[in-house]
Amino acid sequence: MAEEKMEVGIGFITEVDRYLFNNGKHYEIYEKLGAHPWTYQEEEGMYFAVWAPHAIQIGVVGDFNGWNPDLNPMTCLAKSGLWEAFIPNLGAGALYKYAITTETGKLLFKADPYAFEAEYRPQTASVTTDLSGFVWNDKKWMEKRKKQDPMDGPVSIYEVHIGSWRKKNREEKDGFYTYVEAAHELSEYIIEMGYTHVELLGIAEHPYDGSWGYQVTGYFAPTSRYGTPKEFMYFIDYMHQKGIGVILDWVPAHFPKDAHGLSDFDGKPCYQYADPGKGEHPDWGTKVFDYSKYEVDNFLIANALYWVEKYHVDGLRVDAVASMLYLDYGRADGEWIPNKNGGNENLEAIEFFKHLNSVVKKRGDNAMIIAEESTAWPKVTDSPEHGGLGFTSKWNMGWMHDFLEYMKLDPYFRKYNHHKMTFGLTYFTSEKYILVLSHDEVVHLKSSMIEKMPGLLEDKFSNLKVGYTFMLGHPGKKLLFMGQDFGQFHEWDEKVALDWHLADEPLGEELKNYVKDLLHLYQEYPALYEKDYDWEGFSWINANDNEHSIFSFIRYSADKKNNLLFVLNFTPVERKDYRAGVPKKGSYQLVFDETHGLYESGKKANTVLSEEIKWDGQNNSISCPLKPYGVAVYHFKG
């Protein structure tokens, strides 16, 4: 590090700030590092601060000084690795970088890790920004969120990539919708369909469209592809006013090697592990964050809180959790370093997750932290006090894999694979799960959801309908990627918009309306979400009818007074005389089927009376005729 020229600094960053940051507990460090409007010695200007512990010299460069490293030098603060500078008469909207002289004398031009805004790609400069002054109108939403655990209510997530959801007929900015335009049109669609939340891919600034936002260079900057930071605030505020939650994909696992980014930030490994056995992902060609450094942990935890507190987001879906937990993830023998106990667990990442989730739980007013964790790591959603990682919920990747493998089969062979659909019900209480059919399942030659289905065209749509109904009835919150609710045929491509004309064609419109009815059924009946992680909320009627490939089960409401019976036929064979056992004598009202979708509320003509015929281990049963790929959902009182 350069010779320290000052002990106290100019007063923006205090000794307490430095102490907390160097110990990993300055949860608002983004209010100090980066670029901030400030008045110093009666002059208005912009204050800059950056962490670069190995730097010899740093200058702030930009369009205001001809990108000259010598005109606005920074000063190193004592024993902290922090550098600062104040530039008078500089306001919002200026382009800037840090010109960092390394220990070898090399000059690096780096974007600001804490920048609130970034230049439109392919340009890579940071942009000075004033985030103050936005007027939020979502007080009602935020107060409601604070009072209610999201895992106790309905959560049906619409996963969206703004850049390819729709496109405008215009040349500027690649035809992208702005945050403001997307807020209005997207909210209308979400409300119409009945989703409760939207999850956005690729919001933090990233240089390459093809990474979908999973290789981040600007962790504190909403991508300029769709507008400004305050326009993104508008997006979230507008969604909240419409009763829609907002979840962001978040990537604390790795970052790219782009020259302007975090890689070897000050000439040495700064944000990444120094040893390539820990510091690089060989499969992805990216760098791994060094979770042993307090300052790196602080960067990430403060970033999570930044989105939750500064932007009011309702959740962060943490990408690639397994890659963080396992030292040998994607590495062959000899390419990884065991931990101090000789194991393959990344003990530092484990502690990072516990710290992150504890802090967000304490401060986040019920904001969700969702793990995309693809292994059987135990207690992902249990509290750190009980040996868990503390996540709010976890993507159920095992269910997703089994479900898709089953649905791809010719119906004739499904009877030999019946267990693929029942296995998820043996462990659904072990974590707080979200059932996902995400973007990862409809790219890279995996086919869209409709194209995964067997049979001729109409068979494909019928298969998908009964499959989605099973997903809705299965315990766990729900997520579906855009385009899969109306039968998008081609795989998702981030470069082009969805084929929205398909939603107006007969089969696509029918599927869209069917999914809409499913989502409204979900919100109308608390039995489908109140006891998602409790055996009191679910019971099989018949899990073993593999010969007919029919599944029947019950979802119970918390008070056991408003329950739903599902009977689902996964073959094209009609079962006119099918019978299902029921747990009690009485009437069973058909509220949903494959022909009508959701029946009108209160309609009684479709009521079936039970008979004292023992069936499926029950003393009573009902006649339940099923059409090919037939669906029957009955409501009954406790």
Asked whether the beta carbons of 18 and 82 are under 8 A apart, the reply is yes
Q: Which two tokens stand for residue 348?
A: 């530092």
Mean pLDDT of 68-88: 95
Query: 247 to each of 197, 199, 446, 500, how far by Cα in Å?
Result: 7, 4, 25, 24
Q: 495, 598, 33, 39: which is closest to 296 by C-alpha?
A: 33
Is the residue at 143 inside a domain? no
- 262 and 172: one domain? yes
Mean pLDDT of 323-347: 94
Asked whether the beta carbons of 424 and 402 are under 8 A apart, the reply is yes
How far out from the chain centre does Cα 395 lie? Answer: 9
Dump the DSSP string for 274-296: SSHHHHEETTTTEEEB-TT-HHH
Is the residue at 456 inside a domain? no
- 289 and 161: one domain? yes
Q: For all residues of the chain together, what is the average pLDDT?
A: 95
Q: Tell me: pLDDT of 6 over 50.
A: no
Identify the residue whose tokens are 């979840």.
247
Q: pLDDT tens across 569-591, in order?
A: 999 999 999 999 999 999 999 99
* Among 364, 395, 426, residue at a domain's last position: 395
- 243 and 362: one domain? yes
Question: Residue 456, Cβ neighbours under 10 Å: how many?
Answer: 8
Give residue 2's pLDDT: 44
Whether the upstream peptide bond of residue 229 has omega within 30° of 0, thus cis, is no
Q: Tell me: pLDDT of 173 over 80.
A: no
Q: Tell me: pLDDT of 114 over 60.
A: yes
- The total number of structural domains in the chain stands at 3
Q: pLDDT tens across 499-544, in order?
A: 999 999 999 999 999 999 999 999 999 999 999 999 999 999 999 9
Asked whether the beta carbons of 595 and 558 are under 8 A apart, the reply is no
The set of residues, in sequence order, having a beta carbon less than 8 Å from that of 285 and lying 6+ positions away, is 256, 257
Give residue 604's pLDDT: 58
- 113 and 216: one domain? no
Q: pLDDT tens across 175-206, in order?
A: 999 999 999 999 999 999 999 999 999 999 99
Residues in the chain: 638
* Among 127, 161, 178, residue at a domain's last position: 127
State the Cα–Cα distance between residues 92 and 602, nearest whole angstrom.
58
Give residue 374's pLDDT: 94
Which CATH number belongs to the domain containing residue 587 in this structure? 2.60.40.1180
- 107 and 174: one domain? no
Is the residue at 200 inside a domain? yes
- 164 and 301: one domain? yes
E strand or H helix at 159? strand 156-160
Q: Tell me: pLDDT of 7 over 70.
A: no
- 121 and 159: one domain? no
Q: Tell me: pLDDT of 601 over 90.
A: no
Domain housing 94: 15-127
Which CATH number belongs to the domain containing residue 316 in this structure? 3.20.20.80
- 105 and 189: one domain? no
Query: 233 to each of 162, 251, 465, how far by Cα in Å?
Result: 15, 20, 36
Q: What percent of the chain has pLDDT over 70?
A: 98
Give residue 277's pLDDT: 86
State the Cα–Cα distance between residues 203 and 223, nearest whole angstrom.
5
Identify the residue whose tokens are 């001809």.
66
Q: Tell me: pLDDT of 170 over 70.
A: no
Give residue 145's pLDDT: 96
Q: pLDDT tens across 361-406, in order?
A: 999 999 999 999 999 999 999 999 999 999 999 999 999 999 999 9
State the Cα–Cα distance between residues 270 and 249, nearest whole angstrom.
24
Q: What percent of the chain has pLDDT over 90?
A: 94
Q: Tell me: pLDDT of 64 over 90.
A: yes
pLDDT tier for residue 276 given thresholds of 50, 70 and 90: confident
Which residues belong to the active site? Answer: 319, 372
Question: Residue 428, Cβ neighbours under 10 Å: how many?
Answer: 21
Q: 272, 288, 356: which is closest to 316 by C-alpha?
A: 356
Which CATH number belongs to the domain containing residue 45 in this structure? 2.60.40.10
Is the residue at 157 inside a domain? yes
- 24 and 74: one domain? yes
Give residue 603's pLDDT: 62
E strand or H helix at 554? strand 550-555
Is the residue at 235 inside a domain? yes
Mean pLDDT of 224-239: 98
- 233 and 338: one domain? yes
Q: Tell me: pLDDT of 602 over 80.
A: no
Query: 205 to each of 118, 208, 393, how far by Cα in Å?
Result: 7, 9, 25
Give residue 171's pLDDT: 67
pLDDT tier for residue 8 given thresholds of 50, 70 and 90: low
Give the count of alpha carbons within 13 A of 452, CB side only.
Answer: 23
β partners of residue 95? 127
DSSP 8-state code for residue 307: I
- 161 and 305: one domain? yes
pLDDT tier for residue 3 given thresholds of 50, 70 and 90: very low
- 93 and 176: one domain? no
